[in-house]
Amino acid sequence: MIDGGFEHLEKEIRKCANCSLHEGATNPVIMKGSRDPNILFIGEAPGKTEDMTGIPFSGRAGKKLDEMIGYMGLSPDDYAVINVLKCRPPNNRKPRKSEIEQCKPFLMAQIRFLDPRVIILLGNTAEEAFFSRKEMQWGVPLVTDEGISVLKIFHPAAMIYQRSRIDEQKELLDKNRHLWE
Ligand code: SF4
C-alpha cells in the first residue's frame, strides 16, 4: 500500500526503478484529467508521444480517445486517464506480466486517490492488471465489492488499425450510457 497524498504518489512514480522500463523512459506518464473524476479510463502503457510529453494518450490513440469521450458526451471535469504502466516499453511492445505486477501498486493507489464511480478498462491489458485475471466480456459491466462499475471496451488504438471497430465501440458505449448519464 502506498500512503500519502497524490503529490507523494507522483514523486514515488518519478523516482521508481522497480522494473527496467525506467531505463529507457524519457518521462514517466502519470495521468491527465480531473483529480476528482466520475469516470476513470485505464489504458495500457505510454507510447512514443506520451514518453516525450509525459501525458497519457497524447498521440494518435489519444485523438481516438478524445473522439470517443466526445461521443460519450463527457466534460473535462468528468474524467481522468491513466495507464497500467507508467514507463514506455521499448518499441511499444506489450507489457510483461512482471512489469504489470511491479507497477500495480501505483495503479491501485491512483484508483484509490481518484476514487471514480466508473472505471473504463481500455482493452485486455487493463483488465488483466485490474483483476489479475481475465473475466470480463466486451461491453458488459460489472460492479466491484467497493461499488465501482467497471466496463471493458476496445483500446482506442484498435480504432486506428481496424476501422470497423469504430462502430462496434459506439455500440458498446450506447449500451452503457446509463453508467455515466
Ligand atoms: S513501469 Fe512502473 S514499475 Fe516500472 S519503472 Fe516505471 S513506474 Fe516503476
Residue 1 domain-assigned? no
Residue 84 domain-assigned? yes
- In angstroms, the CA 162 to CA 172 distance is 16
Please give the number of the atom of ligand 1 that sits closest to the Cα of 85: 1
CB 139 within 8 A of CB 171: yes
Which segment of 3-17, 86-100, 103-117, 166-180 scores lowest on mean pLDDT?
A: 3-17
- Read off the pLDDT band of 30 (50, 70, 90): very high
What pLDDT is attached to residue 24?
A: 96
Residue 133 domain-assigned? yes
Closest Cα to atom 3 of ligand 1: 103
**pLDDT > 90 fraction of the chain, expressed in percent and rounded:** 91
- The three-state secondary structure class of 49 is helix
Cβ of residue 13 lying under 6 Å from some atom of ligand 1: yes
Cβ of residue 155 lying under 6 Å from some atom of ligand 1: no
Q: By residue range, what is the domain housing residue 51? A: 6-179
pLDDT in tens, 37-77: 999 999 999 999 999 999 999 999 999 999 999 999 999 99
Residue 64 domain-assigned? yes
Query: What is the average pLDDT score of the chain?
Result: 95
| 92 Cα to the center of ligand 1, angstroms | 15
Q: Hey, how many other C-beta atoms are within 10 angstroms of the C-beta on 66?
A: 13
Cβ of residue 19 lying under 6 Å from some atom of ligand 1: yes
| 102 Cα to the center of ligand 1, angstroms | 7
CB 178 within 8 A of CB 143: no
pLDDT at 93 over 90: yes
CATH code of the domain in which 98 resides:
3.40.470.10
Please give the number of the atom of ligand 1 that sits closest to the Cα of 102: 3
What pLDDT is attached to residue 3?
A: 67
**pLDDT > 70 fraction of the chain, expressed in percent and rounded:** 97
What pLDDT is attached to residue 161?
A: 82
pLDDT in tens, 122-156: 999 999 999 977 679 999 999 999 999 999 999 99
Domains of the chain: total: 1
| 16 Cα to the center of ligand 1, angstroms | 6
